[in-house]
Amino acid sequence: MSMTKPIATTRSATGIPTGKLAVWWVIGSEIVIFGGLLASYIMHRIGHPEWAEYASHTNTWFGGANTFVLLTSSLFAVLAHYAAEHGDGKKAAKWLLATCAGGATFASIKAVEWSIEISHGYTITANGFWSFYYTAAGIHALHVIAGCIIMLIIARQAWKGEELHRVELIGIYWHFVDIVWIFLFPLLYIAK
């Protein structure tokens, strides 16, 4: 094995491998980012009775389909982790690619959904509700895309049997992105 591994990725004074601790720290920060955004949305939604009508134009079936896709991709991510835990890098890489396919499907559904909405005049500047809608779902979609890119890099390494612990790290991030969507879904699609 490589002798040039950075110390920071191997030492562990905290009882948790440092790389994993870093991912938890990222997620802690993300909770504040998404939490602040969602909290702002909730207080504005309560303060603006007219938003109920705007919200009624979101399509529950697109949102529901995307929830299904993300939940399923999370299952693939944890199965990749399971394979990596058992030393099977090739299998882990395959599951990671499946997870990535889920992310791509999610982004594609979003693209179709947004195209329809924008063509109906529901743009980001239409009113406060649509501003929040595109900002929240947009930042979330960027996280999905970023996760996919990282996952492809890790899948490539895992295929060669290298850095298998990273499979779990990207998995933890992916599940968090899934959880954010679990809350965005009722906020934007269900509570009408």
Residue numbers at the binding site for other proteins (CB under 8 A): 14-16, 24-25, 27-29, 31-32, 35-36, 38-40, 42-44, 46-50, 52-53, 56, 60, 64, 67-68, 71-72, 74-75, 77-79, 82, 85-86, 127, 171-172, 175-176, 178-179, 182-183, 185-187, 190-192
Single-letter amino acid, residue 179: I
**How far is Cα 135 from Cα 95, in angstroms, rounded to an integer?**
30
Which residue number, 4 or 11, has a Cβ lying nearer to other proteins?
11
Which residue number, 4 or 164, has a Cβ lying nearer to other proteins?
164
* Least Cβ distance, residue 5 to other proteins (angstroms): 23
Which residue number, 42 or 153, has a Cβ lying nearer to other proteins?
42
